[in-house]
A = this chain, B = another copy of it.
């Protein structure tokens, strides 16, 4: 027997049914917003990730040299790939470019609850608009996706922040501050003790007094005080932008899901504007469910025309944790509209009925194993068949079939010529 690789998952049909239902809800939401599906490769050149994220990223990638001598990586995320695609056709594509896709990604990470080496993400991005409306639409899509999954407003929140507020504030604290390191410290702030957080800020060039002041400012959420404290146009503009995005979420009907949270930084270096993370309000799902934000510099750094961008990526594992916590994870069970059961040599009629029902869009199974009545009925029960159509030799002599409603166990006969007849979805009730 062969074993599955650690951190990889097999999804059997019952579980897959629930996953597909959730995925469909998310993709359907994206489609309604006019996000258009793209298809992307599973392999890219390693250099693309190194250029974007630094050499250290290689430690968590699946990389190898292919038979043509290329250094390649299994894609750990979508953003560099879609950035490459935008650059490749930048001039031809009408803006804004609104793309969506769902597919697996791979990272060689420690496996833990909600984190696997192969994981699935739905990525949604808008390229070509620097307006607050684009940020707000990404937030609105994400909120609507969760709402369409059955989550209510009280069950999740988007903690919204702004990279340029953080960056501008830190910049105003002196030239010795390493803004990048300090933002990484902010990103860790919720996970570490206060003293450790201050140590990290101190390592990034702040005095301990500054660290405390910075922490107080962020946690106050007082945007006016922030502007006054920094006294720079950069922070003023960033605050104005953040307020404009939140105002747009109001118009888009999702303001209630957004909480101002300046301590939210998002670890990835490439963000430039609004950033946000989705959290389970109960805290039972202990880490961010997903996140996103604005990254206006990436396309240009990839060799394209300056192209503002904002996006979000919903991961399968944490989304499942949130849905399970909220009690909206779909039932992990098969559903079947009809099982057409044969008794004796009735395959020709049974097959005709199965074909007719399938042509009406129903899920229909029939005997493939030459089994007896009881065995077929048990199988039909196992696949949760709603109606069993019994096509027996004796019934056929009377030009009839028998319909069995599996939930009640009730059964009745129907003229074989009228089944399914003109009906779209004939059931026991139609003939009883």
Using a CB–CB distance below 8 Å, which chain A residues touch chain B? 1-6, 8-13, 16-17, 19-20, 28, 31-34, 36-45, 47-48, 62-68, 70, 72, 74, 80-81, 84-85, 87-89, 93-96, 98-99, 104, 106, 108, 118, 126, 128-129, 131, 133-134, 137, 144, 248, 251-253, 302-304, 334, 336, 347-348, 351-352, 355, 358, 361-365, 367-370, 379, 382-383
For residue A134, which residues in chain B have a CB less than 8 angstroms away from its CB? 368-369
| Chain B residue at minimum C-beta to C-beta distance from A130 | B369
Q: How far is the CA of A392 from the CA of B278 in the complex (A)?
A: 35
A128 touches B252 (CB 8 A): no
B74 touches A42 (CB 8 A): yes
| Other 8 A-B pairs with CB < 8 A, given A133-B367, A251-B348 | A2-B303, A10-B41, A10-B81, A12-B38, A16-B36, A67-B108, A94-B382, A129-B369
Contact of A365 (CB < 8 Å), options: B5, B34, B66, B364 = B34
For residue A303, which residues in chain B have a CB less than 8 angstroms away from its CB? 1-2
A383 touches B70 (CB 8 A): no
Q: How far is the CA of A28 from the CA of B40 in the complex (A)?
A: 23
A41 touches B5 (CB 8 A): yes
A88 touches B39 (CB 8 A): no
For residue A8, which residues in chain B have a CB less than 8 angstroms away from its CB? 41-43
For residue A36, which residues in chain B have a CB less than 8 angstroms away from its CB? 13, 16-17, 334
A118 touches B42 (CB 8 A): yes
Q: How far is the CA of A131 from the CA of B370 in the complex (A)?
A: 7
| Chain B residue at minimum C-beta to C-beta distance from A378 | B94
Least CB distance from A332 to B in Å reads: 12
B2 touches A302 (CB 8 A): yes
Given A9-B39, A108-B67, A1 and B302 contact (CB-CB distance below 8 Å): yes
25 CB < 8 A contacts A-B: A1-B302, A5-B43, A5-B45, A5-B66, A5-B72, A9-B41, A12-B93, A13-B37, A13-B38, A16-B38, A17-B36, A28-B361, A34-B365, A36-B334, A41-B118, A42-B118, A43-B62, A43-B106, A62-B67, A131-B368, A133-B368, A248-B347, A252-B355, A253-B351, A253-B352
B108 touches A66 (CB 8 A): yes
B253 touches A336 (CB 8 A): no
Contact of A17 (CB < 8 Å), options: B20, B37, B106, B363 = B37
B37 touches A20 (CB 8 A): yes
For residue A363, which residues in chain B have a CB less than 8 angstroms away from its CB? 31-32, 34
A47 touches B2 (CB 8 A): yes
Dominant SS among interface residues on chain A: mixed
| Chain B residue at minimum C-beta to C-beta distance from A87 | B1
B106 touches A42 (CB 8 A): yes
For residue A104, which residues in chain B have a CB less than 8 angstroms away from its CB? 42
Q: How far is the CA of A84 from the CA of B9 in the complex (A)?
A: 12
Least CB distance from A62 to B in Å reads: 6
B364 touches A2 (CB 8 A): no
For residue A361, which residues in chain B have a CB less than 8 angstroms away from its CB? 28, 32
Shortest Cβ-Cβ A-B pairs, 10 listed: A11-B39, A64-B64, A13-B36, A34-B365, A8-B41, A1-B303, A32-B358, A129-B369, A251-B351, A129-B368
Least CB distance from A72 to B in Å reads: 7
Q: How far is the CA of A45 from the CA of B303 in the complex (A)?
A: 38
| Chain B residue at minimum C-beta to C-beta distance from A97 | B13
| Chain B residue at minimum C-beta to C-beta distance from A61 | B67
Given A10-B40, A10-B41, A38-B16, A347 and B96 contact (CB-CB distance below 8 Å): no
Given A251-B348, A369-B129, A41 and B364 contact (CB-CB distance below 8 Å): no
B88 touches A1 (CB 8 A): yes
| Chain B residue at minimum C-beta to C-beta distance from A308 | B369
For residue A1, which residues in chain B have a CB less than 8 angstroms away from its CB? 84, 87-88, 302-304
B32 touches A362 (CB 8 A): yes
Contact of A41 (CB < 8 Å), options: B4, B38, B87, B383 = B4
B39 touches A99 (CB 8 A): no
